[in-house]
A and B are shown apart, each in its own frame.
Chain A
Amino acid sequence: MIRVEHLTKVYDTGIVRVQALTDVNLEVRKGEFLAVMGPSGSGKSTLLNILGCLDRATSGSYHLEGIPINTLDENELAHIRNRKIGFVFQTFNLLPRMDALRNVEVPMLYSGVGPRERRKRAWEALEKVGLADHALHRPNELSGGQRQRVAIARALVNDPDIILADEPTGNLDTRSGLEIMAIIQGLNRQGATVILVTHEHEISRHAQRVVHFRDGRLVRTEVIAEPVQAEKTLRENSQQ
């Protein structure tokens, strides 16, 4: 489903030359939940941006559902981002002047969905993340966890195959982080492929597989036989 071969990314600012990724080979199955770990600067975000078609590799190949992403032009990349990929950022990246509902509608503005249908699907997406009752709130009227849930609703509203999350719990407290993980695991159970960048060990335990990066290289792969279920942790915590 996702296949990356000999992927290299070099940032050349003219003054410095940074090798952010070196010869990365990676395959992610459809419906898999993969965590990417590594110290700061190890190239995790760089990889995710390339997988998310926001950036291009310097060399190597990237196939998404058999599509050779390297060969696509900008508009085709935009189309892939719109239909096949849902991005979740550490800093939420909601549009501040719009309420939650309209934030969730934004991806559909670029996929030719009519206004009524858009509204309906945005509501449904907000219901999925349990935030329908806050649909008309603006981002600054929401907590961090709620904002991230709006961002997740936005990521899944076009029904993407892949959800890419770059440290989605990085700005959240433990409990909100767990709630977000529960939602992401739920989406994964419903069939979405999830790739999640984190540097928190506990968070990475929710994935089925963890790849470790160091200095732009994939150094270790770890299969987690029994991923932690965020739902369960939340339930246990609330009982205490």
Chain B
Amino acid sequence: MNFWEMIKMAMENIWANRMRSALTVLGIIIGVMSVIMVVSIGQGGKARILREMEGIGTNIFGVYIGSTDDDYEKYRITLEDCRAIEESVESIEALSPLVYGYAVVEASPRKESAYVYGTDSDYNRIQNIRMAEGRFFSSIDNAVSRRVAVINRRLAEELFGSARMAVGKKLKIQQVSVVVCGVAESGSGMFGPESPMVYMPIKLHFELFDSEESINQIYGSAAHKDLVEESARKAIRVLEVRHQVKDSNVYQFVTLSQQMEAVDQVLAIITMIIGAIAGISLLVGGIGIMNIMLVSVTERTREIGVRMAVGARREDIMRQFLLESVVLSVTGGLVGVVLGVGISAVVCMAMKIPAVISFGTIILALLFSIAVGVFFGIYPANRAAKQDPIEALRYE
């Protein structure tokens, strides 16, 4: 009997008890499936985040007021602060202030709620915003607070039907009429398409929202990747001096590498949890296999006796049952791989992230299921092989 025939025989025996076999390998299926899924989706998510971050530029950082202090008025960041930073920190290439707002945007007869950002003309360069139609507002627009705005494709489509139709049209924001000078491509957010957005000159924003000059965040880009943190610290230093800050926690900064680390940490935790679940599933699955193989050995005691009577050696019987448990666990492993890959593909598609199927993981998962089959199959197989032929033949 060659190897393939033995595998065929094992499959026949498993098929003869298909329901029981299927239930038995459930643990293995779940274990392998979750490993494949967590690796694929995790890798895919990470690749996506990396790509997005690299799209923005790895050199950027943000500075903001961290602790909400009672003396907010004293610390608030002004346009003057921005200018001071730009002048005194050499390693900073570009700097943009940013204020957030949220408003109903009206283009009669349609209305839509949108995020309204006030910033300057450098912002699209720092954030790597791609224009679909028209242009981003210019430094002159900004300087004279011209009533122009850039909206994103999402908002353009909601209000005007298409990006092209939007350019040159008028919008009403906070009762003020503003002309659309360009449409930006919507960057896609983590969980679905980006929200409707409006970008406008920052002073116009202050005017529209009737607010005092208070910047939520400064975005800067450093001349070099290695200068990001240093630039951010220097920028904070400038702010601290200008605002006479003693407590050094008032201004804080965030960089991409920090965010990437946070993503990595979350992924590592999820991987660990799922890894533990997978490990337990495989263990339970293995015990299930051992159990069912012991049942099988008992049920087939007579068969073992017959096979021995017609010339099977103990090692033949051993091999037969061991192979059966391995085929069982590997079948579970394969089903787990197929389900894992399938579900990952669907989930990745739904989340619009690239599906990263790692062949290393698949091979590892299959090797693991073989190992489970061997490890938990040895005891039952040994028990089968140890039968006394006469006793086995007499077994009722």
Q: How far is the CB of B111 from chain A (nearest CB, A)?
A: 72
Q: How far is the CB of A55 from chain B (nearest CB, A)?
A: 6
Q: Is B366 an interface residue (CB 8 A)?
A: no
**Which of chain A's residues has its CB closest to B393's CB?**
A93
Residues of A149-189 whose CB lies within 8 A of B: 154, 158
Q: Is B390 an interface residue (CB 8 A)?
A: yes
Q: Do residues B314 and A106 form an inter-chain contact, with CB atoms below 8 A?
A: no
How long is the Cα–Cα vector from A93 to B313 in the complex, in angstroms?
A: 18
Total A-B pairs, Cβ < 8 A? 61
Contacts of B390 in A (CB 8 A): 49, 54-55
Residues of B208-255 whose CB lies within 8 A of A: none
Tell which of B302, B303, B308, B311 touches A111, judged by Cβ atoms closer than 8 Å. Answer: B311
A115-127 near B? 1/0 per residue, CB < 8 Å: 1000000000000
Q: Is A30 an interface residue (CB 8 A)?
A: no
Q: Is B306 an interface residue (CB 8 A)?
A: yes
Q: Is A26 an interface residue (CB 8 A)?
A: no
Q: Is A8 an interface residue (CB 8 A)?
A: no
Given contacts A89-B393, A93-B393, contact A81 B310 (CB under 8 A): yes
Contacts of B16 in A (CB 8 A): 97
B376-396 near A? 1/0 per residue, CB < 8 Å: 000000000000011001000
**Which of chain B's residues has its CB closest to A54's CB?**
B389
Q: Is A219 an interface residue (CB 8 A)?
A: no
Contacts of A109 in B (CB 8 A): 1, 5, 312
Contacts of A133 in B (CB 8 A): none
**Which of chain A's residues has its CB closest to B313's CB?**
A78
A77-89 near B? 1/0 per residue, CB < 8 Å: 0110111000101
Tell which of B13, B305, B310 touches A110, judged by Cβ atoms closer than 8 Å. Answer: B310
Tell which of B305, B310, B314, B389 touches A154, judged by Cβ atoms closer than 8 Å. Answer: B310
Contacts of A74 in B (CB 8 A): 313-314
Q: Is A95 an interface residue (CB 8 A)?
A: yes
Q: Is A52 an interface residue (CB 8 A)?
A: yes
Q: Is B103 an interface residue (CB 8 A)?
A: no
Prevailing SS type, chain B contact patch:
helix
Q: Is A107 an interface residue (CB 8 A)?
A: yes
Tell which of A49, A83, A93, A110 touches B302, judged by Cβ atoms closer than 8 Å. Answer: A93
**Which of chain B's residues has its CB closest to A89's CB?**
B393
Q: Do residues B309 and A81 form an inter-chain contact, with CB atoms below 8 A?
A: yes
Tell which of A75, A83, A95, A111 touches B306, judged by Cβ atoms closer than 8 Å. Answer: A95
Q: Do residues B303 and A82 form an inter-chain contact, with CB atoms below 8 A?
A: no
Contacts of A94 in B (CB 8 A): 306
Q: Do residues B312 and A78 form an inter-chain contact, with CB atoms below 8 A?
A: yes
Q: Do residues B311 and A93 form an inter-chain contact, with CB atoms below 8 A?
A: no
Q: How far is the CB of B217 from chain A (nearest CB, A)?
A: 73
Given contacts A93-B393, A95-B303, A97-B16, contact A107 B313 (CB under 8 A): no
Tell which of A82, A89, A95 touches B311, judged by Cβ atoms closer than 8 Å. Answer: A82
**Which of chain A's residues has its CB closest to B9's CB?**
A109
Q: How far is the CB of B317 from chain A (nearest CB, A)?
A: 10
Q: Is B264 an interface residue (CB 8 A)?
A: no
Contacts of A93 in B (CB 8 A): 302, 305-306, 309, 393
Residues of B290-333 whose CB lies within 8 A of A: 302-303, 305-316
**Which of chain A's residues has its CB closest to B12's CB?**
A97
A96-119 near B? 1/0 per residue, CB < 8 Å: 010000000011011100010000
Q: Do residues B310 and A107 form an inter-chain contact, with CB atoms below 8 A?
A: yes
Tell which of B309, B311, B312, B313 touches A83, judged by Cβ atoms closer than 8 Å. Answer: B311
Q: How far is the CB of A43 from chain B (nearest CB, A)?
A: 14
Q: Do residues B316 and A110 form an inter-chain contact, with CB atoms below 8 A?
A: yes
Q: Do residues B393 and A82 form an inter-chain contact, with CB atoms below 8 A?
A: no
Q: Do residues A79 and B389 form an inter-chain contact, with CB atoms below 8 A?
A: no
Residues of A48-95 whose CB lies within 8 A of B: 49, 52, 54-55, 74-75, 78-79, 81-83, 87, 89, 93-95
Contacts of B313 in A (CB 8 A): 74-75, 78-79, 110
| A–B Cβ pairs within 8 angstroms, 22 of them | A49-B390, A54-B389, A74-B314, A75-B314, A75-B315, A78-B308, A78-B311, A78-B312, A79-B311, A79-B313, A81-B308, A82-B311, A87-B309, A87-B310, A89-B393, A95-B306, A97-B12, A97-B13, A97-B16, A107-B311, A110-B307, A110-B313
Known: A78-B314, A110-B310, A111-B311; 9 extra A-B contacts, CB below 8 A, are A54-B389, A81-B310, A83-B311, A87-B309, A87-B310, A89-B393, A97-B12, A107-B310, A110-B1
Which 6 pairs between the two chains have the least Cβ-Cβ distance? A82-B311, A107-B310, A110-B311, A78-B313, A109-B1, A81-B311
Interface residues of B (CB under 8 A from A): 1, 5, 12-13, 16, 302-303, 305-316, 389-390, 393
Interface residues of A (CB under 8 A from B): 49, 52, 54-55, 74-75, 78-79, 81-83, 87, 89, 93-95, 97, 106-107, 109-111, 115, 154, 158
